[in-house]
Amino acid sequence: MTTTPTPSAAPGGPRPSVRSTVHGYPRIGPDRELKRACESHWKGRTTARELDAVAAELRLGVYAQLREAGVDDIPSNTFSYYDHVLDTAVLFDLVPSRFAPPAAAPDREEELRRYFALARGEQGAPPLEMTKWFDTNYHYLVPELSPRTRPRLVGDKPVAEFREAAEAGFHTRPVLVGPLTFLLLAKPADGAPEGWEPVELLDQLLDAYAQLLGDLRAAGATEVQLDEPILATDEGRAAVGHLERAYQRLGTVTERPSLLVSTYFGSIGSAALRVLKDSAVEAVGLDLVTDDEGVDDLVRVSGLGATRLVAGVVEGRNVWRTDVPAAVAALGTLLALTDELTVSTSCSLLHVPLDLDAETSLAPELRGALAFARQKAQETALLGRVLSEGAEAEYTGQGGVRPPAFTDARVRARLDALGPDAYERPRERGRPTDTPLTTTTIGSFPQTAELRRARAAHRGGELAEEAYKAVLREEIDRVIALQEEIGLDVLVHGEPERNDMVQYFAEQLEGYATTRNGWVQSYGSRCVRPPVLFGDVSRPAPMTVEWTTYAQSRTDKPVKGMLTGPVTMLAWSFVRTDQPLGETARQVGLALRDEVADLERAGIRHIQVDEAALRELLPLRSEHRERYLDWAVGSFRLATSGVSPSTTVHTHMCYSEFGLIVGGIEALDADVTSVEAARSRMELVRDLGGRGHKRGIGPGVYDIHSPRVPSVEEIEGALRLAVAHVDAQNLWVNPDCGLKTRGYAEAEQALRNMVEAARRVRADLA
């Protein structure tokens, strides 16, 4: 390997002083301690003090780990019991009125109870809505604001955590959600006047932030980080006026720490960058990984001058090792565009697992290409040392992160040989059924404790393969019998063999690896283990045929096969970055196409390919969307277009805000599309109806996210609304998502009510 000469601001001059930091760090603990501690507190098994003690230990563990990694500037207030946006709302007293106000002097028990009630709901008060944090799989709680909301500083979490760290010997940089991002992510509360927007509270909120900055300074903080990822979206970029006002105001606070405005998940454009450069803000953090435009923006504003650049060159939300020589070279270019530089991650490390050292069973070649949060912290520290101390010797051998063995010539040859007809089904293919309002479900049935135990025992080697399979077959028998008895039209096998809709397939596909301990927070105490898509993907053997055909053998009614689509397989995995995502999606599409063909050959007439995450991966900026939808749709069509015209292709999505991708949904060309519509009053049905959608549509008629059983009348109402917009022959009747998180008692009753409602509406049509 060739060693890149270490750059310095002035060739031959003194080395620049470059520091290192990270924007944030995983909070869940090495062994998901936070999950366990929260869940046992919710069950009433531990006191607030006991929970607080676990949390304090986790925080100090993070600081110690970052120091040990060699990171110079350590962030604090990156911890949260549930979500950092929720923390911000509570900090500034932005709590909807349906939650009882706190007692005059609430004790800690009461304080935490109220906090978790916002996240999880309580008697008579449903929780705040939860939605995806930008284009990640982390979910935040959406603040509800109205013109009557009065932001004021009522909490001290950032100050308390700063002090706690200081007492333990760590001088930290408190991290706050920035005011602009907070307001643009909030929504108007029910009853707010039409057209009113939360950003109208900006000035009042800034006063509260100003007070907080003063408090932090008084506690000894010298720098504060304000996260403004909203600037990577169209909406944020359009709000430069507000941005200017916000940082103008915060800049004038007399006794304050210096301000780092950190942006991530994409470039922010030169207009926003110029505003920040010209403001009183001392440092700006830029994501230089997600797209190529960050450096261009810097050039366009002629560099940052005296404003310090916190350069996000270490990828914060994927798991690949940094190509250190390439990063050193990139940082060299940046040194010409700023007087002062700090090396950082592209975003918070919240989105990657904690420590690669906890993985013992990954193949060594793959392991050598990976870095989790702790390793990424070490990388930023190393980059800082290389630039300021010339520690080149430390990184010999840290380039070339991807061994060539991960490519598969057969996969590439097969894809190259495909013509355009591989992506097309005939336009004329008749109706999937003769009945209007065909009833079905989305795929999974309740995952009982017994099933989970059997799966764990099978994994642990205590339950032999055949015995495990017998348990699964028994479960399928029961699910099929139940559906027949309830009177559903298109049945499913219930997915009892799947731990997770992505991991199940990742375990069986070539090119994918799964981790033992690679947990990442998804929401609250819920963590997921995204698999790693590292190489060319192919399907060595059928993945679902055994279970689907077994189910079909138990009934005369059609059984629908269930697969997870290419985009969702990518969205909920860590994906290789050495080729465009679209290319990787096509490989997954091809592997699924093989599975679809095998299902069809085995006599399965309905095949569903779930694209639950189609909306999630939609680029944050509209200019990138057409290209995305192009490859997303292409990979789905590759997976599904090999079937005969008489096979019914279904797809499923679980979001309600589809406005932006209605065209994409149409382009998938599925025969039946089921969507989450229960909570959005069938807006999508109207949208599609308005566009003259010709294929089947199954707007979810009830919300499976709640244990509540919907009444027949309620479902009937939803269906009557739907038939007003969609031809009844095209209307399918189903819940809004899979039933795996529900119990049998409620799932069964809800399905009975659903089938009865469909019968009533059908009878009226006749």
Annotated binding site: 35, 137, 442-444, 495, 526-527, 572, 610, 652, 654, 676, 737
Toward ligand MET, which CB reaches closer, 65 or 608?
Answer: 608
Tell me which residues in 442-501 interact with ligand MET (CB under 6 A): 442-444, 495, 501
Give the E-state strand segments of 431-585 in sequence order. Answer: 438-439, 510-513, 520-523, 526-528, 532-538, 560-564, 574-575
Q: Measured from the CB of residue 439, what is the shortest distance to ligand MET in angstroms?
A: 15
Q: Measured from the CB of residue 739, what is the shortest distance to Zn ion in angstroms?
A: 10
DSSP 41-95: HHTTSS-HHHHHHHHHHHHHHHHHHHHHHT-SBEEES---SS-HHHHHHHHTT--
First-to-last CA distance in the chain?
A: 76
Residue 733 contact among ligand MET, Zn ion, none, beta carbon within 5 to 8 Å by kind: none
Residue 501 contact among ligand MET, Zn ion, none, beta carbon within 5 to 8 Å by kind: ligand MET
Say whether residue 737 binds Zn ion (CB under 5 A).
yes
Toward ligand MET, which CB reaches closer, 528 or 728?
Answer: 528
Q: Measured from the CB of residue 608, what is the shortest distance to Zn ion in angstroms?
A: 11
Toward ligand MET, which CB reaches closer, 19 or 740?
Answer: 740
Is 705 a residue of the active site? yes
Residue 715 to residue 720: CA distance in whole angstroms: 9
CA atoms within 13 A on the CB side of 411: 24
Annotated binding site for L-homocysteine: 442-444, 610
Toward Zn ion, which CB reaches closer, 206 or 612?
Answer: 612
User: Residues near 241 by Cβ (< 8 Å), separated by ≥ 6?
Assistant: none
Give CA angle at 393 (388, 398), nearest 5°.
100
Tell me which residues in 653-682 interact with ligand MET (CB under 6 A): 654
Q: Which helix (H) or strand (E) holds 651?
A: strand 648-653
Residue 221 to residue 216: CA distance in whole angstroms: 5
Give CA angle at 720 (715, 725), nearest 5°.
130
Q: Measured from the CB of residue 441, what is the shortest distance to Zn ion in angstroms?
A: 11
Toward ligand MET, which CB reaches closer, 501 or 618?
Answer: 501
Using the contact rule CB under 5 A, the part of the chain among 281-289, 394-402, 464-472, 648-656 near Zn ion is 648-656
The single-letter DSSP state of residue 29 is -
Residue 83 contact among Zn ion, ligand MET, none, beta carbon within 5 to 8 Å by kind: none
Tell me which residues in 599-658 interact with ligand MET (CB under 6 A): 610, 612, 652, 654
Determine the residue with CB nearest Zn ion. 654
Give CA angle at 569 (288, 524), nearest 5°.
75
Toward ligand MET, which CB reaches closer, 443 or 511?
Answer: 443
Using the contact rule CB under 6 A, the part of the chain among 38-46, 51-59, 92-100, 736-744 near ligand MET is 736-744
| Contact indicator for 216, 259 with CB cutoff of 8 Å | no
Residue 48 to residue 52: CA distance in whole angstroms: 6
Residue 196 to residue 208: CA distance in whole angstroms: 21
DSSP β-bridge partners for residue 173 = 75
Using the contact rule CB under 6 A, the part of the chain among 92-100, 227-235, 436-444, 531-539 near ligand MET is 436-444
Say whether residue 654 binds Zn ion (CB under 5 A).
yes
Hey, what are 33's tokens? 């301690």
Q: Measured from the CB of residue 564, what is the shortest distance to Zn ion in angstroms?
A: 11
Q: Measured from the CB of residue 299, what is the shortest distance to ligand MET in angstroms?
A: 43
Q: Measured from the CB of residue 378, what is the shortest distance to ligand MET in angstroms?
A: 35
Using the contact rule CB under 5 A, the part of the chain among 68-76, 379-387, 461-469, 647-655 near Zn ion is 647-655
Q: Which helix (H) or strand (E) holds 188?
A: strand 187-188
Determine the residue with CB nearest ligand MET. 738
Q: Measured from the CB of residue 745, what is the shortest distance to ligand MET in angstroms?
A: 19
Tell me which residues in 578-637 interact with Zn ion (CB under 5 A): 612
For residues 565 to 604, the per-residue mask of contacts with ligand MET, x marking binding by CB under 6 A and - elsewhere, is: ----------------------------------------
Using the contact rule CB under 6 A, the part of the chain among 42-50, 61-69, 116-124, 438-446 near ligand MET is 438-446
Using the contact rule CB under 6 A, the part of the chain among 383-391, 439-447, 549-557, 581-589 near ligand MET is 439-447
Say whether residue 551 binds ligand MET (CB under 6 A).
no
> Residue 344: which of 518, 227, 220 has the closest Cα?
227
Sheet holding 74-76, edge to edge: 19-20, 341-345, 308-314, 283-287, 258-262, 223-227, 172-177, 74-76
Which residue is it, tokens 């997303």? 632
Toward ligand MET, which CB reaches closer, 92 or 732?
Answer: 732
Residue 562 contact among Zn ion, ligand MET, none, beta carbon within 5 to 8 Å by kind: ligand MET
Residue 610 to residue 612: CA distance in whole angstroms: 6
Using the contact rule CB under 6 A, the part of the chain among 140-148, 171-179, 397-405, 734-742 near ligand MET is 734-742
Q: Which position among 740, 753, 757, 758 is part of the footprint of ligand MET (CB under 6 A)?
A: 740
Toward ligand MET, which CB reaches closer, 387 or 670?
Answer: 670
DSSP 343-383: EEESS-GGGS-S-GGG--SS-HHHHTTB--HHHHHHHHHHH
Q: Which position among 185, 260, 559, 562 is part of the footprint of ligand MET (CB under 6 A)?
A: 562
**Encoded amino acid at 186, one letter:** A
Measure Cα distances from 578 to 536, 575, 582 in Å: 11, 9, 12
Choice among 351, 493, 693, 705 that is catalytic: 705
Give the E-state strand segments of 382-531 in sequence order. Answer: 438-439, 510-513, 520-523, 526-528
Residue 101 to residue 86: CA distance in whole angstroms: 16
> Residue 231: which of 186, 261, 187, 196 has the closest Cα?
261
Q: Measured from the CB of residue 604, what is the shortest distance to ligand MET in angstroms?
A: 15
Using the contact rule CB under 5 A, the part of the chain among 180-188, 266-274, 510-518, 731-739 near Zn ion is 731-739
Q: Measured from the CB of residue 491, what is the shortest distance to ligand MET in angstroms?
A: 13
Toward ligand MET, which CB reaches closer, 443 or 558?
Answer: 443
Size of the site for ligand MET (CB under 6 A): 13
The single-letter DSSP state of residue 262 is E
Size of the site for Zn ion (CB under 5 A): 3
Tell me which residues in 338-397 interact with Zn ion (CB under 5 A): none
Q: Measured from the CB of residue 132, what is the shortest distance to ligand MET in angstroms?
A: 13
Query: Sign of the CA dihedral 61, 65, 68, 74?
Result: negative
- What are residue 665's phi and psi, to 5 degrees? -60, -45
DSSP β-bridge partners for residue 354 = none
Hey, what are 494's tokens? 């219930």
Residue 530 to residue 138: CA distance in whole angstroms: 12
User: What's the chain's length in residues?
Assistant: 766
The H-assigned helical ranges of 176-323 are 179-185, 202-219, 234-237, 240-251, 269-278, 293-300
Q: Which position among 34, 737, 747, 750 is part of the footprint of ligand MET (CB under 6 A)?
A: 737
Toward Zn ion, which CB reaches closer, 141 or 654?
Answer: 654
Residue 561 contact among Zn ion, ligand MET, none, beta carbon within 5 to 8 Å by kind: none
Residue 533 to residue 535: CA distance in whole angstroms: 6
Annotated binding site for 5-methyltetrahydropteroyltri-L-glutamate: 35, 137, 526-527, 572
Toward ligand MET, which CB reaches closer, 137 or 433?
Answer: 137
The contact set with ligand MET (CB under 6 A) reads 442-444, 495, 501, 562, 610, 612, 652, 654, 737-738, 740
Catalytic residues: 705
The contact set with Zn ion (CB under 5 A) reads 612, 654, 737
